[in-house]
Amino acid sequence: MHVLLFDIDGTLVHTGGAGRAALDTALWDVFEVKNDYEVPVQGRTDCGIAQNLFRAHQIDDTLENRQRFHAGYLDALPHRMREREGRVLPGVERLLERLVGIDDVHLGLLTGNIRGGAVSKLSHFGIYHFFPFGGFGDRHAHRNDVAREAFDDARRHVGSGLDATQVTVIGDTPLDVECARAIGARAIAVATGGASRASLVGAQPDLLLDDLDRDDPWWDR
């Protein structure tokens, strides 16, 4: 059995900066704060990004404020997606169609996006239906905790006997590799996001791919 947990941004799709633009919109609409802070987003969770933005702009980091902020973000995101030149990354759709036809392969998500953001982004590109389970960035500031959530959800989906050695995490940043290690899973890095190839090499993934536009069964090496 193989459980493949995919990151979203930079791995499956590029949104053309729609996510970042929606964050800025939400910050203004909800708190009337214009964002002048270049918050790091690569490999981060939406929960952690909100914490950093609140800290930078002296907004109380309460559950209520976070819920309001994320609601504003989810309201803005579809509009920003339609404005931007986003795309599904090379080979992704063909790969997903191929993988769902293999009996012992199960697809899930391991993403820093809040669940609603993941649904919005992947539905925009018509590929959300490929992923029936996963871990999301609603509650966790650290990606390693999202990995643990994704692993638990995978076990609920495919069976409690699932072992971490049967799980592969696919992502485009060193933090994706790190979170795979946190659950004892295999890590595959793909150089289609914003991380440099040198940083991906330095993270020591089990396999480094230029992109997912391949015909070989790389998940089964």
Task: Identify the band that residue 101 occupies on the pLDDT scale cut at 50, 70 and 90.
Answer: very high
Mean of pLDDT values over 10-26 = 95
Structure-block tokens of residue 74: 């989810």
Mean of pLDDT values over 92-118 = 96
Q: What is the pLDDT of residue 202?
A: 97
For the cut 90, the answer to whether the pLDDT of residue 158 exceeds it is: yes
Work out the percent of the chain whose per-residue pLDDT is above 70: 100
State the CB neighbour count (10 A cutoff) for residue 178. 18
- Distance in angstroms (rounded) separating the CA atoms of residues 13 and 72: 22
Structure-block tokens of residue 181: 């290690």
Residue with the two structure tokens 């080979």: 91
Q: Select from 83, 29, 26, 15 the least CA-distant residue to 49.
A: 26
> 3-state class of 189 per DSSP?
strand
Task: Identify the band that residue 46 occupies on the pLDDT scale cut at 50, 70 and 90.
Answer: very high
For the cut 90, the answer to whether the pLDDT of residue 112 exceeds it is: yes
Task: Identify the band that residue 37 occupies on the pLDDT scale cut at 50, 70 and 90.
Answer: confident
